[in-house]
Amino acid sequence: MKRSLILGLSIAIAMTFLAVPVMAGKTMDQIEKTGKIKLGFREGSIPFAFVDPKVGKHVGFSVDMAGELAKYLGMRFGKTIEIVPFTVTPKTRIPMVVNGTIDVEMGSTTYTQKREEQADFSMIFFFSETTFLVAKDSGVKSLQDLSGKRVGAARATTNLRAVEKLANEGKFDPAGIIVTETHPQGMLALKSGKIDAYSTDRSLLEGLRMKDKNPDNWMTVDFAIAYEPYAYIMREGESDFRDFVNNTILWSVHTGKFFELYEKWMGPAGVVPIPMSDAYKQYLQMMVYPISDGWWKK
């Protein structure tokens, strides 16, 4: 019995190792075979990925970066690669990657250790802060000023966890924490008076504020309660695809395309002006390892 058990375990372990080469490259192979890449974009993560009602489709910095990814995949495979867009929410983005509905989520997702246990991530391409959007006349200048007020945040976000953690630690005492499914819903709750403050990344809050009909009625507070490094989500066990995504990011920095897209969406005339700090510029330059023209070739 013991000998049979050992033999069975040995066969199972061997089959596991034999299965690895079969699984490797599945995403890249599928993209080459179908000529399509399935991309997950957010509905209201301005300016990274959001639906523009004027054109009826997803737009934004990360959407343009997805276009760069498709372009270089096309150069690798010698044919046009079509982007098949899917709308994702904070709750569905990781499950949709893991179950194969989409190949990669490109938006404004915070890279965390807990999420790393469920999926793989690209290198970090942006940094933001968790903070709050409030009415300009609210008088909120500190976290303690939110005690006794209703605070909102989107489900399955690091922002919600940060708010709940501070409340549980007694750092402030909100009258309630209201969970929404999306950021536009959070903005609607704020405008309708269902909540007194909405929490997400500073860059996204500024996007929500500036897209409002009366942006001057709202303000993003000066203080932050957490910091958010952004990365793109992929399935685990697909290192060749992850490397291709990373190289697309690195090449865009190397060629200046990254800065061109940043200027388009977050420059002074962009949808959400977010000045690029010297520290962020240095980070982008330092993360570019030696990479040469033609890296996309087989």
66 burial type by CB count under 10 A (0-12 exposed, 13-18 middle, 19+ buried): buried
Higher confidence at residue 1 or residue 42? 42
pTM of the predicted model as reported, rounded to 2 decimal places: 0.84
All domains of the chain in start order, with CATH:
23-127+229-286 (3.40.190.10), 129-226 (3.40.190.10)
pLDDT, tens digit, 9 for 90 and up, residues 190-229: 999 999 999 999 999 999 999 999 999 999 999 999 999 9
Name which of 64-73, 127-136, 272-281 the model is least confident about: 272-281
User: What is the C-alpha to C-alpha distance for residues 199 and 90, in angstroms, rounded to an integer?
Assistant: 14
Task: Output the pLDDT for position 11.
Answer: 38
Share of residues in the chain with pLDDT > 70 (%): 92
Alpha helices in the chain (DSSP H): 2-23, 26-34, 61-77, 93-98, 113-116, 158-168, 183-191, 202-211, 239-255, 257-266, 278-286
Residue 181 has pLDDT above 90, yes or no: yes
| Beta pairing, strands 36-42 & 104-110 | parallel
Mean pLDDT of the chain: 92
